[in-house]
Amino acid sequence: MNKLIIAPSLLAADFRNLEREFQKINDSAAEWVHFDVMDGVNVPNISFGFPILDATRKLTNRFIDVHLMIENPSNYFEEFKKFGADGITIHFENNRQLERDLKSIRALNMKSGIVINPDIEVSCVAPYLDDCDLILIMSVVPGFGGQKFIESTYSKVKEARELIDKSGYDIRLQVDGGVSIQNANQLRTSGADVLVCGSAVFNAPDFSKYIAELMK
């Protein structure tokens, strides 16, 4: 299994002190930054876009992992690349051109990913494995931070890990939603190798220590 990567979710950061928040990330063992983009249509919430991504790129050299929860995501791939995205993950549902979109992301020299929502079967992504670098399993319903972790996620992670291993492709397996010290070890042993952590780490008294504990 790949080395474990922790990706703090910017959605949970204090935007009144963004430079300070990135200093905490840069001083920690976190290797990625998870960047959620929501348009209020694809999911019932609105987050941030290109100006914040531009600021993010200037404040860190960490891998910027962009999770798109927007309509017509392919319209914006080049802009996300321009403003600093290293990888883009898109949703399986309501995307009739998923294969083309994944290829387009890679053609822009970014890592490509597929999201599996809680109501989507893991097997649905099997036809697209040769075009993706990341599978993201949502352990909450996408759209809002701070939700309770869905316990059935563990079995989906195990199933996805088996699917990846059988494929022979080098694909990262990420979990996002309600990740904390309480469930990180079980997620890791189930097969996850990238953990997105939002409220738990940004609300921790010691950011770097919490990241270190997750990695144990």
63-120 tens-digit pLDDT: 999 999 998 999 999 999 999 999 999 998 767 799 999 999 999 999 999 999 999 9
Let me know: does 78 contact 89? Beta carbons within 8 Å. no
Let me know: does 104 contact 77? Beta carbons within 8 Å. yes
Alpha-carbon distances, residue 7 vs 90, 99, 114, 180 (angstroms): 17, 26, 17, 12
Quote the pLDDT of residue 92: 82
Quote the pLDDT of residue 148: 83
pLDDT digits (tens, 9 = 90+) for 12-43: 999 999 999 999 999 999 999 999 999 877 77
Q: How many domains does the chain have?
A: 1
Whether 36 is catalytic is yes
Report whether pLDDT(129) > 80. Answer: yes
- In the chain, the amino acid numbered 164 is I
Q: Which of 36, 65, 86, 133 is catalytic?
A: 36
Which of 25, 29, 27, 14 is CA-nearest to residue 57? Answer: 25
Q: How many CA atoms lie within 13 A of 2 on its CB side?
A: 18
What pLDDT band is residue 146 in, cutting at 50, 70 and 90?
Answer: low
Name residue 111's beta-bridge partners: 87
Residue 42 burial (CB count, 10 A): 19
Summarize the confidence of residues 177-197 as an average pLDDT: 97
CA distance 24 to 12: 13
Report whether pLDDT(145) > 70. Answer: no
Q: Which of 14, 176, 193, 206 is catalytic?
A: 176
Quote the pLDDT of residue 112: 98
Enclosing domain of residue 156: 5-215
CATH number at residue 24: 3.20.20.70
